[in-house]
Amino acid sequence: MKIFIIGMPGCGKSTFGKELAVKMGISFFDLDDLIVKKGGASIPEIFEQKGEDYFRHIESDCLKEATDTNETFIMATGGGAPCFHDNMDFINQNGISIFLDVNPVTIAKRILSDGVEERPLFRGHNYKTLGGALEEKRKNRISFYRLAQFTFKEDEIDVDNIIKKIKPSL
């Protein structure tokens, strides 16, 4: 069994994925960590030095390499991972997909609190401009996110609740 957590940057994929993995007693991977290892640089450095296209190719390669095992795991994908190189189809063919649908206002607060400079697609934004940038990004990505097998709104994101809902699919 492979579970893929998808959603906007800053929606809590990694935090939630780790909690879910602990509760279910299975491994957790953060796709961003795999990309950093394969790319030999931080994500902001990869974007800066090689560009987004290069990053998206590495991202897709890492997704497929990690999935090409018999191992059971939960993976937090990057926010854009489902939207490039037919990755969403790949995710749905190889496991269970969960979309964490979090309000862009909540996400903006998290990103600003964590440090906007760590997120290449949102660098240079401040409190006034980040909300609009997130709304635009969500509008461009929502058709991919909606392909997830399970969607949980912000107030439904609870480990026990999600396990109960996905259990029949496991």
By percentage, how much of the chain surpasses pLDDT 90? 84
- Ligand-binding site membership of 67 (annotated): no
pLDDT digits over 132-154, tens only?
A: 999 999 999 999 999 999 999 99
- Ligand-binding site membership of 153 (annotated): no
- Ligand-binding site membership of 68 (annotated): no
Mean pLDDT, rounded, for 81-87:
97
Q: Does 59 have pLDDT greater than 80?
A: yes
Contact yes or no for 106/34 (Cβ under 8 A): no
Whole-number pLDDT of residue 117: 73
**DSSP 8-state secondary structure symbol assigned to residue 124:** T
- Ligand-binding site membership of 10 (annotated): yes
Architecture, CATH, for domain 2-161: 3-Layer(aba) Sandwich (3.40)
Annotate 67-109 with three-state secondary structure.
HCCCCCEEEECCCCHHHCCCHHHHHHHHCEEEEEECCHHHHHH
Contact yes or no for 13/100 (Cβ under 8 A): yes
Whole-number pLDDT of residue 122: 84
Contact yes or no for 115/20 (Cβ under 8 A): no
Average pLDDT of the chain is 94
- Ligand-binding site membership of 160 (annotated): no
Whole-number pLDDT of residue 139: 97
- Ligand-binding site membership of 39 (annotated): no
- Ligand-binding site membership of 83 (annotated): no
Whole-number pLDDT of residue 16: 97
Whole-number pLDDT of residue 65: 96
- Ligand-binding site membership of 17 (annotated): no
Q: Would you list the domain boundaries of the chain?
A: 2-161
Q: Does 116 have pLDDT greater than 80?
A: no
Q: Report residue 166 CA to chain centroid gap.
A: 18
Contact yes or no for 6/96 (Cβ under 8 A): no
**Could you give the CA distance from residue 155 to residue 93 in angstroms, rounded to a whole number?**
28
Q: Does 51 have pLDDT greater than 90?
A: yes
Can you give the pTM of this predicted structure? 0.94
Q: Is the dihedral of CA 158, 64, 79, 138 positive or negative?
A: negative
pLDDT digits over 89-113, tens only?
A: 999 999 999 999 999 999 999 998 8
